Amino acid sequence: MTLSLKWAAAAIAAACITASLPFAVGHADDAASAAPIFGVKIPAGYRDWKLIAVGEETGLDELRGVVGNATAVKAYQDNKTPFPDGTTLVKLAWKRKPVDGLNGAFVTGPATTVQVMVKDSVKYAATGGWGFGRFIDGKPVDAAQHETCFACHEAHAKDFDFVFTHYAH
C-alpha cells in the first residue's frame, strides 16, 4: 500500500466514524468557538437538556426550542428570578418546514442558529449578569451582532431578569 493509499484509508475510516455519530458534530468546545465580547461557548451536551419552551420567529420563518441546564430548570421550577449564576439557556432554531399533505402543519427543517445565555453576575455585570453567544454551524457570529443582544433583552425582558423565555407548562 502506498502512502497516499494509506492516507485515503485513514480518511475514509475517519469519515465513517464521523458518519456513525448520532448527532451533528462541529461544536467543539475550544477557544475558536468562543463568542466575541462575552467569550460564551456552546455548552457540551446541551441537546440533551430539558425543554423550557418553544417559540417562533415568523420574520425568519423559524421554529425555536429553548432548553436549559439543571440550574436553569430548577430556577424555573422554583419560579425564582433573578436566575442564579451558572444558569445556562440554549435556544435552538430551525427553518419551518411544511408537512406534506397536512395543510397548516409545520415541523423543523434545517438548523439555523444556536443561541446561548450564561448567567455570571460578576463577569457580566455590565449586561444584566448575562453573557451571550450566537452561533451558526457551530461558529460564533461577529462582534457587531453580539453588541445587539443585551439592548434588546433589556428593552423587552427586563422584568424577567432579561430572559424572554418563560416556562411552558
Interface with a copy of itself (CB under 8 A)? 22-24, 47-51, 53-60, 63-65, 67, 73, 76-79, 92, 94, 96, 99-108, 111, 155-156, 164-166, 168-169
DSSP 38-102: T---PPTTGGGSEEEEEEEEGGGTEEEEEEE-HHHHHHHHHT-SSPPTT-EEEEEEEEEEEPTT-
**In the bound complex, what is the minimum distance in angstroms from residue 102's beta carbon to a copy of itself?**
6
Contact, 108 vs 97, CB < 8 A? yes
User: Cα(78)–Cα(80) distance, rounded to whole angstroms?
Assistant: 5
Q: Residue 82 or residue 109: which is nearer to a copy of itself going by CB? A: 109
Q: How far is the CB of 50 from a copy of itself (least distance, A)?
A: 5
77 vs 121 by CB, closer to a copy of itself: 77
Tell the smallest beta-carbon distance from residue 110 to a copy of itself (Å). 9
